[in-house]
Structure 1
Amino acid sequence: MHPNDRPLLAAAHQGDTSAVRGALAACAHVESRDDEGRTPLLPAARADRVDVAELLIAAGADPNARDTAGDTPWLAPGLTGSMPMLRALLPAGPDLSLTNRFGGTSLIPAAERGHVAYVRAVLRETGTGVDHVNRLGWTALLEAVILGDGGRAHQDTVELLITAGADPLFADHDGTTPLQHASRRGRDAIAGLPAATTRRVSAR
């Protein structure tokens, strides 16, 4: 390990832009790893330190570098919903097919959390598969319905997914569809979205 690798890792964890710049100038390895296998870009992405991430990416940081838990910098904005971090990472050429420890692409946790702007951008700009199934047997649509709170953000997320071609009849391992999950939870606004969305699309 280069003497400046640990300072670079510490600076990235702390979001210290000046210290990151100094460590890189002192020839620290941009792909150095901490005890959990994290490169400097991963904590920067998780903490939404776009300034730090941009410095690291300019130095050649890999958006696909996995830590020991299987997480990557590209997957982080799916959890946070950060559009600035999405914009910083996309030019670095992330592998959009990479999945997290649960077997989900970045779209699935974003849908679960109701990150509407992030979901919209990923669907429009990356070609990520809308009906990808994770290890739980859930698609982004199933996660948005099952784990979402049924509020406006999750309603908008569900509508975006259906408009993008998500199958509202794609059932989980128990044979329950997103519509059935929504009905059972009393989320009538979500349960009625497929028909309403279909009418709007047909009218265009």
Structure 2
Amino acid sequence: MAYSARALLGFAEDGDVSSIADALDAGTAVDAPIAKGKTLLIIAAEKGHTEACRMLVRKGACLETQSDAGRTALSVACFSGHTDTALALLDLGANLETLDVHCQTPLILAAWQGHTALAVALVKRGAKINALSSNRMTALMAAASEGDVETSMMLVELGAGAAFVSNAGLTAAQLLSNQASPEAGAALAERAEAAARERAAAEAERQRRIRMARLDAALVSLEKEVCKLEARSATI
């Protein structure tokens, strides 16, 4: 039995695992484009149907297939704010740094849409926090451009750089000032400077500890050599 694109679209949008499985068993190609280049997996991910996504991957769906907009299942899950689905896709092996047609990473998409918790989770999973899109927008700048104070501040706390300048010549603080308030922009700039100082101090302390550890190791080695020399002298 052949299934129409409309029927397949409905199955994926509803997360109907049983009907999707029936369609695949009937010969539907698991990675066939259905609408705007979106596959069953991409559509299911866009709607946050985690179990359907897992089943499709088990059936051989490619995690890195892209829609006409260049978005993978992970990209659309992040854009739509489906944290559980996004993390499940990562566990299944999805590429955290995949780029859409505008060179936007899943992190940039999540931040742009104000999905703070998901953005934090992606950074903790290793997402490049300062990746740049084609218009030179980082995740921080994407959040700031929407006037999203919470996500902007959280990204700064996680290490996002605030010195990047967009194609429009604006920093994240300037974008937030324009879209939220001058006070919010000033607060972001101040917090970014403080965070940068804290990171620099932490790095300096880390380097100091490394030097001390090396010095301690050298002293231990020297003491051992001295003991060996003393032992030899005692036998002469």
Structure 1 residues 36 and 80: alpha-carbon distance in aligned structure 2, compared to 1, 3 A threshold: closer
Query: Does the aligned pair in 1 maintain the 2:149–2:176 contact within 8 Å?
Result: no
Structure 2 letter corresponding to 1:20: I
Aligned to 2:226: none
Larger Rg: 2
Over the matched positions of the two proteins, sequence identity in percent amounts to 28
Aligned to 2:66: 66
Structure 1 residues 187 and 77: alpha-carbon distance in aligned structure 2, compared to 1, 3 A threshold: farther
The CA deviation at 1:201 is 8.1
Structure 1 residues 79 and 187: alpha-carbon distance in aligned structure 2, compared to 1, 3 A threshold: farther
Distance 2:155 2:76 in 1: 20
Q: How does 1:109-128 map to 2 (within 5 A)?
A: 109-125=109-125, 127-128=126-127
Aligned to 1:24: 24
Query: Does the aligned pair in 2 maintain the 1:4–1:27 contact within 8 Å?
Result: no
Query: Does the aligned pair in 1 maintain the 2:146–2:176 contact within 8 Å?
Result: no
Distance 1:136 1:63 in 2: 26
The CA deviation at 1:140 is 1.2
- When normalised by structure 2's length, the TM-score is 0.72
Distance 1:201 1:79 in 2: 32
Aligned to 2:85: 85
Structure 1 residues 36 and 181: alpha-carbon distance in aligned structure 2, compared to 1, 3 A threshold: closer
Aligned length: 197
Between structures 1 and 2, the one with greater helix share: 2
Structure 1 letter corresponding to 2:105: T
Structure 1 residues 191 and 47: alpha-carbon distance in aligned structure 2, compared to 1, 3 A threshold: same
1:67-110 deviation line (CA, Å, top 9, x unaligned):
22322111012211111111221122112221122211011121
2:158 to 139, 153, 164: 164
Distance 1:60 1:190 in 2: 47
Distance 1:89 1:100 in 2: 17
The CA deviation at 1:60 is 2.2
Aligned to 2:48: 48
Query: Does the aligned pair in 1 maintain the 2:174–2:185 contact within 8 Å?
Result: no
Unaligned runs of at least 5 residues, structure 1: 149-153
Query: Does the aligned pair in 1 maintain the 2:157–2:195 contact within 8 Å?
Result: no
SS in 1 for 2:176: helix
Aligned to 2:187: 192
Aligned to 1:132: 131
Q: Which of 1 and 2 has higher RCO (CA within 8 Å, sep 6+)?
A: 1
Structure 2 letter corresponding to 1:71: R
The CA deviation at 1:8 is 4.8
1:15-63 deviation line (CA, Å, top 9, x unaligned):
3222012223445332222253322101111111222212112222112
Structure 1 residues 118 and 187: alpha-carbon distance in aligned structure 2, compared to 1, 3 A threshold: farther
Distance 2:63 2:23 in 1: 19
Unaligned runs of at least 5 residues, structure 2: 203-236
Query: Does the aligned pair in 2 maintain the 1:5–1:32 contact within 8 Å?
Result: no
The CA deviation at 1:175 is 2.7
* Residue 141 in structure 1 maps to residue 140 in structure 2: yes
Structure 1 residues 18 and 179: alpha-carbon distance in aligned structure 2, compared to 1, 3 A threshold: same
SS in 2 for 1:52: helix
- When normalised by structure 1's length, the TM-score is 0.82
* Residue 175 in structure 1 maps to residue 174 in structure 2: no
- Aligned Cα RMSD in Å? 2.6
Aligned to 2:211: none
Structure 2 letter corresponding to 1:104: Q
Aligned to 1:151: none
